Amino acid sequence: MAFSLGPLHIDPPVLLAPLAGITDRPFRDLVASFGAGLVVSEMIASQEMVQGRAGTRERAELGFDAGRTSVQLAGRDPHWMAEAARMVEAQGAAVIDINMGCPAKKVTGGYSGSALMRDPDHALRLIEAVVGAVSVPVTLKTRLGWDEDCLNAADLARRAEGAGVRMVVIHGRTRCQFYKGQADWSAIRAVRDAVSVPVIANGDITDAGSARAALLASGAAGVMVGRGAQGAPWRLAEIAAELFGHEAPTIPEGSALCNMISAHYEAMLTFYGSALGLRVARKHLGWYMDRAGTPTDLRRRILTGTDPAQVLSLLPDAILTEGAERRAA
């Protein structure tokens, strides 16, 4: 089920979803080190990036030349979307993804993200502007529609393909569902049937079992994993091994796991600087400790720690199974 996006051969067809505040350069690099067909950046606001508003350009300029990376852009103005696309292409982006699926009120309130599904004609103008601005493949990520009365993903995908979009990712919920209920993978099949470009299923795909069920229900060419990779950056490689015959990843345990987490922590501090890095790292350390069953007191000390050296010194007892069990006893 592998496919190509321009010069990129997407094999395995298991992709990392864009997650705001999560799929930054350190996390993308870590997921890619285990194996992924494509990793997608956190959403970047197009106008803010081009105008160099604080924080946006700095985040956008790091890591897009790291190989199998897609950069996701959001916006409502064709001019700014096109300018941002040119900018990230110049910085080495292998693929550019257009966000028409984000359900957040601060995004849809600005008529971006999934709000664009309520105005397909305007959505198409954005798509045409981006495709016309760059030579790299352009993809599209949407939901099933705005609500149950506006299930227009198949029609939008058909029009997007006609405008030059090379792949479509569908989250199996409407915008108004946000993340409630269960993703409807079977509803994605209508999109698959409407286009000839690869369609990727997204939503509630957390392991090989759910990935297999999503592929069966949707008929999609591949899957996109988001929350399932939190605290488990090897998850995409696990799915690729079980469903597509790739070599199974070596999942770190014991001291190897602790070393991996420590390296991820230090990479975040280097990427963001110590002050911001400490805050960003907390969510990732929390997910790792959730998996390890770290005792509450030790967890609190790590998540509130302001001295990186102290946090690193506490990680072995927090992560190593025998250490966590000993402290919990």
Of 244, 267, 292, the domain-final residue: 244
For residues 216 and 268, membership in a common domain is answered with no
Q: What is the pLDDT of residue 315?
A: 96
For residue 123, which of 174, 162, 84 has the smallest C-alpha distance?
Answer: 162
Predicted local confidence at residue 9, as pLDDT: 94
- The pLDDT of residue 321 is 54
Same domain, yes or no: 33 and 14: yes
The pLDDT value given to residue 158: 98
Q: What is the pLDDT of residue 2?
A: 84
CA 90, distance to chain mean position in Å, is 21
User: Angle, nearest 10°, between helix axes 153-162 and 120-133?
Assistant: 30
25 and 92 part of one domain: yes
For residue 138, tell me if it sits in a domain: yes
Which among 102, 150, 176, 258 is annotated as catalytic?
Answer: 102
Neighbours of 181 (CB within 10 A): 11
**β-bridge partners, 3:** 10
Distance CA 159, CA 157 (A): 5
Query: Do 237 and 273 sit in the same domain of this protein?
Result: no
Place of tokens 């975040």: 268
Whole-number pLDDT of residue 291: 92
Same domain (yes/no): 272, 213: no
Domain of residue 305 covers 254-328
| Assigned token pair, 179 | 């993340």
pLDDT digits (tens, 9 = 90+) for 108-123: 777 688 889 999 999 9
Q: Say if 42 falls within a structural domain.
A: yes
| Whether 310 and 266 share a structural domain | yes
Residue 102 bears catalytic tag: yes
* SS3 category, 168: strand
Does 173 lie in the same domain as 44?
A: yes
Closest CA to 122 of 78, 164, 61, 183: 78
Count how many domains the chain has.
2
The two most distant CA atoms of the chain are separated, in Å, by 62
133 plus 65 within the same structural domain: yes
Q: Is residue 277 part of a domain?
A: yes
Token pair, residue 62, equals 């790091």
Task: Give residue 210's pLDDT.
Answer: 98
Last-in-domain residue among 224, 244, 264: 244
159 and 190 Cβ atoms separated by less than 8 Å: no
Tell me: do 167 and 87 sit in the same domain. Answer: yes
Asked if 204 and 316 sit in the same domain, the reply is no
Whether 249 maps to a domain, the answer reads no
- CATH number, domain containing residue 126: 3.20.20.70
Residues of the chain with pLDDT under 70: 53-62, 111, 321-329
Q: What is the pLDDT of residue 109?
A: 72
Q: Which of 115, 128, 116 is nearest to 161 (CA)?
A: 128
Global confidence as pTM: 0.92
| 81: in domain | yes
Q: Is there a contact between 50 and 83 (Cβ–Cβ < 8 Å)?
A: yes
Are 320 and 183 contained in the same domain? no
pLDDT at 143: 94
Tell me: do 261 and 238 sit in the same domain.
no
Residue after which a domain boundary falls, among 183, 218, 244: 244
pLDDT of residue 224: 98
